[in-house]
Amino acid sequence: MAKGYFQMKTGILTGGGDCPGLNAVIRAVVKTAVHQHKMDILGIIDGYYGLINNKMRILTLEDVSGIMPRGGTILGTSNRDNPFNYFMIINGKKVYRDVSDRVIKNIHDSVMDALIVVGGDGTLAIAERLFKMGIPIVGIPKTIDNDLSATDVTFGFDTALMTATEAIDKIHTTAESHHRVMIVEVMGRNAGWIALHSGIAGGAHIIIIPEIPFDYDAIVKKIFERKGKGKHFSIIVVAEGAKPKGGDVVVKRMVEDGTEPVRLGGIGNRVGDEIERMTGFETRVTTLGHIQRGGSPSPFDRILATRFGAEAVHLVAKGEFGKMVSLRTPDIISIPLEEAIGRQKNVSPDSGYVKAARMVGISFGDI
């Protein structure tokens, strides 16, 4: 059993893909717990893996000192290790088992009074199941994808957006110098938030998002329209979840034991090959990949993570469980976990963002 200093002990785990701001949230949780509520915080190592395998340690003020600007999570994370579908090898055979009873035993053995789960939809859906089994849980939303409808925005998104925008700025100059079509593939799973926002901020000419299926002819039309105006280069931002009209997404790999097994990726190259063939323009593709998940969190993400962390501890202290903290600008509120999960937030093709982008001449590759 991890020994603490105070009577009450709350666990914290970070699950799913990491994102900038996780350390800021851990810091806020520890500081609020120690200073305001005389509560110990037990850090669980590597997300649900640590709960299943009993890997946890007390986090002191010293542990969280100076971690705010650091990307990643000092606790480690995992987007596999689902306690309800846990991968193991038994007698040389790959099998999946429900080990949630092991998780509950470990929680009781560690004398944990409550658990704060920081994660995206997959991680929070597991948290909700554990809550229904009697574990006192409070959720905190995070993801660079910004695809949770239960909060105005998740922390991690703003920093990923900065990274993608900076990359597009850099691509711009080389595209112009070489008179090329340059494609930047960004993350976001089945939501186009990173592509839409970075595309607008980076001055892209074409933005391809999952919510607006594209047509190659429409992309080509835009490129030639620009050529006709003396612009011999074009920047296309493509979301990894984009798909052509009547077509499907490009799957990069399947992660069998993941909470969300499909990994997207490769649409950028597919679009690049086709555009080069159709236009004769030399085309290059840059896939930003996990760079978008790293780096020091932006001030916005640090502040949002701090507010979420502090509020989550207050909920624990008040005994309000089965809730998730959420930003409803300008307030931090809490909503039932079961209302928060399974409701993906997508870009509306009629949104003001899309309209404004079209006004300034950006094509979505649809008309």
What is the binding site for ligand F6P (CB under 6 A)? 17, 79, 120, 143-145, 187-189, 240, 263-264, 293
Query: H helices then E strands: how many in the chain?
Result: 12, 15
**Catalytic residues, which ones?**
145
Q: How far apart are the two ends of the chain, measured CA to CA in Å?
A: 62
Of 4 and 141, which CB lies nearer to ligand F6P in the complex structure? Answer: 141
285, β-bridge pairs: 183
Of 189 and 222, which CB lies nearer to ligand F6P in the complex structure? Answer: 189
CA-to-CA distance for 29 and 25, rounded, in angstroms? 6
Of 201 and 262, which CB lies nearer to ligand F6P in the complex structure? Answer: 262
In the bound complex, what is the minimum distance in angstroms from residue 332's beta carbon to ligand F6P?
A: 22
Of 40 and 211, which CB lies nearer to ligand F6P in the complex structure? Answer: 211
139, β-bridge pairs: 117, 324
Q: Do 337 and 322 touch, CB atoms closer than 8 A?
A: yes
In the bound complex, what is the minimum distance in angstroms from residue 300's beta carbon to ligand F6P?
A: 18
150 in helix, strand or coil? coil
In the bound complex, what is the minimum distance in angstroms from residue 117's beta carbon to ligand F6P?
A: 16
In the bound complex, what is the minimum distance in angstroms from residue 350's beta carbon to ligand F6P?
A: 24
CA-to-CA distance for 120 and 28, rounded, in angstroms? 19
Q: Do 233 and 176 touch, CB atoms closer than 8 A?
A: yes
For 73, residues 6+ apart whose C-beta sits below 8 A from its C-beta are 14, 18, 22, 23, 26
Of 43 and 241, which CB lies nearer to ligand F6P in the complex structure? Answer: 241
In the bound complex, what is the minimum distance in angstroms from residue 265's beta carbon to ligand F6P?
A: 7
Closest CA to 81 of 106, 100, 67: 100
